[in-house]
Structure 1
Amino acid sequence: MKALPLFILLLMVIGKANAQSADSYAAHIMQGISDPKINKTNPYVTAGDRSYLIGTQDGKFPDLGDHVEGEMAGLWCPPFKLADGFWVSVTDKSTGKAVWLNADQFITYPYGNKFIYKSPVDGVTVERFQFCPDGKTAVLVKYTIKYSGSASKNIKLSFNLKTDIRPVWFTDTVDVDFPDKILSTAKDGYFLARDSTKPWYLAMVSSVKAGNQHSGSGADIPYQTIGKGVWYTADYNLTLAKNSTSSIIFSIAGAENNQNAAISNSRNILNSYDELLKAKINKYKEVIARAQITIPDAQLQNVYNWVKINTSWLVRTVPGTGTGLTAGYMEYPWWFGCDNTYALQGVLATGDFKLAKSTLELLYNKSKAVNGNGRIVHEISTSGKVYNKGNTQETAHFIMCAGTYLKWTGDTAFIKKIYPYIKDGINWLLTTTDTNHNMFPEGYGIMEVTGLNAELIDVAVYTQQALKNAAEMATIMGDKKAGEKYAALAASLQLKVNKSFWDEESTSYCDFFGTKQQALSTLDGALKQLKIGETGAPDKQQTERENFYIALQKKISLMRDTSRGWLTNKNWVINTPMETGIAPYKTAIMALDKIRMENCGEYGPYLSAVEKKYMMTIATGVQAVAECRYGRVDSAMWYVNKIAATFNRVLPGSISEMMPDYGCFTQAWTNYGIDVPLVSYVFGVTPDAVKHTVNIRPNLPSTWKNVNIKNVKVGDNNLSIDIKTKGNRRTYTITQSNAAWKLLFKAPSGSGDCTLNGHKVKLTDNGLTLSANTNTITILL
């Protein structure tokens, strides 16, 4: 064998060391997370990209959810549901005593879940591990029975499955659930059922041959559900040798149009258990390794890693529709324009370019098919149907997000494909939705408040960002005239937003720009919305909110009728001028301070600072990014840590949409307030992949000394940054995989003398241009 060159051997050693380092970093995360303090009736998810399973942490499957009432749990392989769930009992055959399994402990792994049932039968412990293999419409469930007795024992394990084969939300005008019917039982080596009207099939096989089996109403099973499925029970008679371990694996799979496919899927998946589990584990090791951080705050570092994992849980592939990031479990496991334009910025910062592209493409394809005029849709069911054709803000935000995608990836081919629709979107914003031609598009924005259908602050701000990004994309596409036009409009709109929406008296940006009548109408809507769901006499806070709106109505009714900015609801989106950095510095600082002092609850900004009732991870995340924009990283981390403080409240390993512990128990856009502040501002990575350039401007929290980030993907480059502090000196080591890229390093403000690779250099306002593959910079602070 020919000897390998020394430099290749070195690369192999380095590669092996890096792989070991990555595995070591991921090891404690892959061990899973459990919290005995959490209510075991809380929900969980076992996530795959083609299927997912939702139940409760006691191992059961009660009726859960609101969108399809009581039907959001169970096993799903969109565009249809397969089963309400499964329940197991264990019988000690020597005594005849039967016990229904009720989990004593629940563990979340990145790749699956485990339930531990302690001593359902004397000397017996049962563990249930389950995962949904990616690319498969199935779940694999493994029961491991551990017996510690000194003599053999005979037990019966009864596996009870309730089918519920029905369509996903918003499939037909009325989402009809028809009864299921059994086609075959395990005497044929499998169990097979189908919906009585749709060609949707469920097949189940097990690794151990069943004994007795029966089907029917399940009247003898104490866990009834509302679905119109059928019950199937299979009994497994097991002889447990002393100090032994036995196991049974169940494969429950679905298929459309072909019952044989359902059967073969179930069998093949069962036979590939070890291979599929290994692939699932390796996938999450890769997720953890992307944009891998080491920071002094161990809790935040853990949250950062689990947020990347949560994001991966929410990826959904539906044949005929596409692959994309869904909004949240369990109520919104489908696709949204608004949610993704935030969440994809976190996805890009943490290096999953493939997911970002497929999600943007899904939104583009559906929008083009349904709207065709540049407008971006709001909500797409996994049935492939569009529920809402799009709020005004979403079109602007999509264009902004497409620009962010281009900066991270350099993927000009994809931008070329969607660029005509981007131009249509700009035209739609500035013509169709801007009937008075003042550059403030009209219509609903992020906050879907009754009556707040006007020229909103978030719509105006994101339209300005859309123009800015469209100008850059136009230039890259060679559309010089459009580029110049969009750039001029972006500059003009920035000035208009700061002039028309800023309220000097309140030191705040306004909710919307409009007429006196629109302001009064908005307050009417706010009062109506306050009363939604209200029963009995209003409490003190409710009365105070109503009195505020009524008093403001009286005040406005006496004002002269003129178009101006109105601060009626104090919704969190008034922070968007700071989030995007278009607010002048002094204005921004006043507004940011005002929000922190007056508009925040325990976990960040209220959705409405008038109502002071609800907080969400996205509002707190936007505020963190806003503080970052103006260099106030300590203030930003205050908000980031508010999000982190809600970790593990409902599901171990996850953060709820509504802070601290309700709404969707896993939410995609939570990543915006964790990933973007850390990657783009603390480590300071700002890419321009088209120009093969990365701007690096780290800004560490005041108490952080030694940090690093590895495997930051930018275009075809891979970047790592290591920062070490010793005394009053700070060393930055920046490594990139592609030496052809240009790195621009900007030192933190207040930095003194600088040494670059052992040579003194002068710092300028433009920073340092680095051209070597590995660079070490020493800065006297």
Structure 2
Amino acid sequence: MLTITATVTGLMPGAVRAAPGGAGSVVPSVVPELSETTRLADRRTVVSGDRMYQVGAADGSYPATGWHIRGEMGGFWTPPVKLLDGIWFAVDGQWLTATRFTNGAGYTRMAFPQGVERTDFAPDGTRAALIGLRFTGPARTVTLTVQAHSELLPAYPWGWTTPGAGDTNRPDTGAFDGRNLVFRDGGYAALVGSTRRPDGHRLGAGMRGPREPAVVCPEEDPAPPRCDDGPFGRGTGGELTYTVDVPANGHTVWFAVAGGDGGAGPAAADLATALRDPAKALRDKIASRRAVAAYTTVAIPCDPLLARSVAWSKQNLADSVQQARDLDVFASHEGRENPPPVGTVPRARWFGAGWPDYPWIFATDGEYTAFAAVAAGQFEPAMDHLRALRDISDLVNARSGKVVHEVTPDGQVYFGANDDAGNTDESAKFPSAVALLWRWSGDDRFRDEMYDFSVRAMRYVLALDADRDGWPEGLGNVERPGMAEEKLDVAVYTIRGLRDLADLAASRKDDATRQWATREADERARRFEREWWFPRGVSYADSYGTFQRHWTGVTPMETGLSTKDTATKALDQREKACYTGEFGLFHTGTGPTSAPAGNPGPVCDPVVSTVPAERSTFSLNTAVMAVAEGNYGRLDAQRRYTTGNARIQLDPAVWELPGAMPEIAPSPDFVANIDQGFLTRSSVLQAWGAYGVLWPVVRQYLGVDPDLGRGRLAIVPDSRTTVSARDIRLGRGSADVAVSRNGRTVRVAVDVRVRAEVALGAVLPPGVSTVDVRLDGRPVRHSTVDTNRGTEVRVATTKGRHVLEVRW
């Protein structure tokens, strides 16, 4: 029996625990559900496990979705194979259309007017999805009809590649094995079945529930707002019927979808495993998401929206974890070639970038997402993501050190081979991601495992300097016409990557590498402001000697490379209407331009650019801006950007999928996803936006800065923010932190449960000096240091419970 209400009690608001040190604040224990009743047919949904996910609509339908394989990116997928376009249910001949949709932590629910509730989830570790139909009383007998339409095809090739999906996708066949629908296409197989034996079955070409006859999407736009199958679809259908006796207290019928690229035998085994005890599988799923929720539970009295965004962002990251087996690695050179594989990666695990069109392995996405992951306590998937990048890169790039850009879960490397032009920044960011995870986890084995590749990555980057001016060539995050060969973000991340590599080398006593990396970083840092500042733009050049107002102009502040005076000028400029809209930072700001379209917005500088503005607000752009503001203690300004990302995730007036942070916010140059056709939307769930929520709260509000590889931990929160958090994961332990202020006194209460030398402190408000510093009620010696965040007061202590009071 499906006992979702009882099971999810722990996910409801109200379960609280006092903050550490008796500070009096409380934090919610886990994530509540979020529900929506409007425009359900227009809202995409995502239900994911680490080996299976489905994308549909909130009314229980499955419109043709996405553009990589046009119209085929929705439905049921087990990487690297799609199984079904969708599954539809009817009660007594009436197809179910939801009137209420609810998103939970690891599951979704839909309510139907026929007295039926549907719960969807995907158990982790198995290639199966489960659907529970709960029939409420009164006692009755109903006829239940289930239709499924297959679409067995791989994640690659895509619609426009050589060959394309239209060239390679073969017709599916359907069968009935006495209990289940069985679909096949060569070695691909999909099964649909239930805990009950059906009364009857049918096989046929359609079987799309209420969407018969199907509307097939054209290969090119214009397309209807909603269609049912992509132009390359070769699926088939099947139907199962059941007689269900519903008692007065209700009854649940479970269904499962299973399959993969190993044939019908393994698919049948996965189906049987999923259906063995679905209710327990649901309890296990929710328990796993409680574990996710238990780390970094925060309360921010002055900004409860941001606290809720922290809770949901942790779940968004967990939703994004994917796995695949036996990736046959080859470089397609942007889909133009199809050579034999150069090798096989037995297992890969990663943070999928975005759903439905980017659930794959991306370097830049994973490297940004790593900062959110450590703040959320999700070390392991971030580590595995870097391992996957290393393993695939070493195969396809013959151990050159270059990091691949984009990889589908069958091993196709779309971009990022040695003879591709970029993305140079992704190789430069790799050592920084390794160092980040080492500092938070204290895991020397992980550092040692990734060290050789990190060294090779930075040596590869520095070799990309044909003119020998010190700035590597190659693409960065922005790929737009008119940019010079050397990009700002590449230069910035190269300096940071060298410094992080030097830190890793020092910890391993590799003095030669430490000295080389330090020397190279210092030389570039010494020249950076002089060579990259663009004074007429009151910002940095986007690429060497050019100014186009791209969001990457914020990266010097995001990494803390800028001096405080320069950062103040640049951040002030980026906060203006030329660069920032309702939900955050534009991709490309507005101003004078020679582009034919002209300038559609205000003017904040006199520079004439060669490109048009692009006033689309990506959640990553806004995240980078939020982090940049926080690095310089500008928390009041930062709130505009943390709120922007939180709203597109949690504001019912804005969200598409409640609780999911999308790729792009509604913007002057980007129509809201929900108002676009299903073939052209941006991602409904994108992992990297969590960077702009979790990192500002944990690293900047709470000031948690571990260096556990060396047995050190700093907790230096900002004194202007009342905030508390418990169970911030640190190595094999954790810490609670609570910050409160009363007049001219800030109180920092901690409970540190990891072995470390602890530096406990606070960032003072601007313009004040300390009068009295007490630790655990007693006066204590302290030090002060000026940082980009402001003047920090610090005292030395140890693990355990402590209360620091600083009065000025």
Q: Classify the TM-score, shorter chain.
A: 0.7 to 0.9
The residue matched to 2:129 in structure 1 has which SS?
A: strand
Identify which of 649, 659, 679 aligns with 1:653.
659
1:156 alignment counterpart: 143
Q: 1:220 to 1:774 in 2, by over 3 A?
A: closer
Rounded to whole Å, the distance in 1 between the matches of 2:268 and 2:704 is 49
1:724 Cα offset (Å): 2.9
2:262 alignment counterpart: 257
Rounded to whole Å, the distance in 2 between the matches of 1:769 and 1:396 is 34
Q: 1:775 to 1:236 in 2, by over 3 A?
A: same
Rounded to whole Å, the distance in 2 between the matches of 1:478 and 1:210 is 67
CA contact (8 A) 1:443 1:453 kept: no
1:37 Cα offset (Å): 3.8
Q: 1:302 to 1:440 in 2, by over 3 A?
A: same
Q: 1:222 to 1:638 in 2, by over 3 A?
A: closer
Identify which of 199, 206, 209 aligns with 2:197.
209
1:758 maps onto 2:790 in alignment: no
Q: Deviations over 1:698-741 (max 9, x none)?
A: 015x4x43x21111122233111122333443321111113454
Task: Report the AA paired with residue 530 of structure 2.
Answer: K
The residue matched to 1:136 in structure 2 has which SS?
A: coil
Aligned ranges for residues 597-616 of structure 1 at < 5 Å? 597=576, 598-610=578-590, 611-616=613-618
1:417 Cα offset (Å): 2.4
Task: Report the AA paired with residue 411 of structure 1.
Answer: D
Q: Deviations over 1:571-601 (max 9, x none)?
A: 0101111111111111110111011124212
Rounded to whole Å, the distance in 2 between the matches of 1:334 and 1:84 is 19
Task: Report the AA paired with residue 77 of structure 1.
Answer: T
The residue matched to 1:238 in structure 2 has which SS?
A: strand
Rounded to whole Å, the distance in 2 between the matches of 1:437 and 1:366 is 29
1:240 Cα offset (Å): 4.1
1:493 maps onto 2:517 in alignment: no
Rounded to whole Å, the distance in 2 between the matches of 1:716 and 1:737 is 9
1:666 maps onto 2:672 in alignment: no
1:128 maps onto 2:91 in alignment: no
1:326 maps onto 2:352 in alignment: yes
Rounded to whole Å, the distance in 1 between the matches of 2:688 and 2:208 is 43
Aligned ranges for residues 159-558 of structure 1 at < 5 Å? 159-170=146-157, 173-175=163-165, 176-185=168-177, 188-195=178-185, 197=186, 199-218=187-206, 221-223=209-211, 224=214, 225-226=228-229, 227-241=233-247, 243-296=248-301, 297-320=303-326, 321-371=347-397, 372-389=399-416, 390-431=422-463, 433-452=464-483, 454-513=485-544
Rounded to whole Å, the distance in 2 between the matches of 1:309 and 1:201 is 30
CA contact (8 A) 1:170 1:387 kept: no
> For this pair of structures, how many residues does the alignment match?
688
1:157 Cα offset (Å): 1.3
CA contact (8 A) 1:340 1:669 kept: yes
Rounded to whole Å, the distance in 1 between the matches of 2:771 and 2:411 is 57
Task: Report the AA paired with residue 591 of structure 1.
Answer: A
1:100 maps onto 2:95 in alignment: yes
Q: 1:229 to 1:495 in 2, by over 3 A?
A: same
1:413 Cα offset (Å): 2.0
Task: Report the AA paired with residue 300 of structure 2.
Answer: I
1:21 Cα offset (Å): 4.4
Rounded to whole Å, the distance in 2 between the matches of 1:399 and 1:173 is 36
CA contact (8 A) 1:745 1:770 kept: no
1:771 Cα offset (Å): 2.1
Identity score, percent: 27
Normalised to the residue count of structure 2, the TM-score between the two structures is: 0.82
Task: Report the AA paired with residue 770 of structure 1.
Answer: T
Rounded to whole Å, the distance in 1 between the matches of 2:776 and 2:18 is 27
Rounded to whole Å, the distance in 1 between the matches of 2:366 and 2:18 is 29
1:80 maps onto 2:106 in alignment: no
Unaligned stretches of 5+ residues in structure 1? 1-18, 92-97, 120-124, 514-564
CA contact (8 A) 2:489 2:552 kept: yes
1:634 maps onto 2:629 in alignment: no
Q: Deviations over 1:107-128 (max 9, x none)?
A: 1111211111113xxxxx1111
Rounded to whole Å, the distance in 2 between the matches of 1:481 and 1:472 is 12
Unaligned stretches of 5+ residues in structure 2? 1-14, 20-25, 215-227, 327-346, 417-421, 591-612, 667-671, 674-681, 786-793
Rounded to whole Å, the distance in 2 between the matches of 1:36 and 1:405 is 41
1:691 alignment counterpart: 710
2:330 alignment counterpart: none
Rounded to whole Å, the distance in 2 between the matches of 1:503 and 1:20 is 50
The residue matched to 1:443 in structure 2 has which SS?
A: coil
Rounded to whole Å, the distance in 2 between the matches of 1:392 and 1:592 is 25
Q: 1:667 to 1:221 in 2, by over 3 A?
A: closer
Identify which of 564, 576, 590 aligns with 2:555.
576
1:401 Cα offset (Å): 1.4
Rounded to whole Å, the distance in 2 between the matches of 1:348 and 1:28 is 18
2:575 alignment counterpart: 596
Q: 1:246 to 1:713 in 2, by over 3 A?
A: closer
Q: Deviations over 1:368-413 (max 9, x none)?
A: 1111211111001011211101411111111221221222122222
The list of structure 1 runs, each at least 4 consecutive aligned residues, that deviate by more than 4 angstroms after superposition, is 19-28
2:343 alignment counterpart: none
CA contact (8 A) 1:430 1:437 kept: no
Rounded to whole Å, the distance in 1 between the matches of 2:585 and 2:62 is 35
Identify which of 734, 742, 746 aligns with 1:718.
734
Q: 1:253 to 1:21 in 2, by over 3 A?
A: farther
Task: Report the AA paired with residue 69 of structure 2.
Answer: V
1:3 alignment counterpart: none
1:13 alignment counterpart: none
Task: Report the AA paired with residue 496 of structure 1.
Answer: R
1:133 Cα offset (Å): 0.4
Rounded to whole Å, the distance in 2 between the matches of 1:478 and 1:293 is 38
Q: 1:780 to 1:756 in 2, by over 3 A?
A: same
2:131 alignment counterpart: 141
Q: 1:613 to 1:739 in 2, by over 3 A?
A: closer
Q: 1:169 to 1:682 in 2, by over 3 A?
A: same
The residue matched to 1:69 in structure 2 has which SS?
A: coil
1:166 Cα offset (Å): 1.1
The residue matched to 1:40 in structure 2 has which SS?
A: helix
How large is the RMSD of aligned CA atoms in angstroms? 2.2
CA contact (8 A) 1:26 1:289 kept: no
1:768 maps onto 2:773 in alignment: no
Q: Deviations over 1:17-49 (max 9, x none)?
A: xx984999666724x111224543210011100
The residue matched to 2:34 in structure 1 has which SS?
A: coil
1:49 maps onto 2:50 in alignment: yes
Aligned ranges for residues 21-36 of structure 1 at < 5 Å? 21=17, 29-30=31-32, 32-36=33-37
Rounded to whole Å, the distance in 2 between the matches of 1:740 and 1:451 is 50
1:682 alignment counterpart: 701
2:5 alignment counterpart: none
CA contact (8 A) 1:205 1:267 kept: no
The residue matched to 2:714 in structure 1 has which SS?
A: strand
The residue matched to 1:248 in structure 2 has which SS?
A: strand
CA contact (8 A) 1:146 1:244 kept: yes
The residue matched to 1:646 in structure 2 has which SS?
A: helix
CA contact (8 A) 1:601 1:612 kept: no
Rounded to whole Å, the distance in 2 between the matches of 1:651 and 1:20 is 27
The residue matched to 1:768 in structure 2 has which SS?
A: strand
CA contact (8 A) 1:201 1:256 kept: yes
CA contact (8 A) 1:204 1:263 kept: no
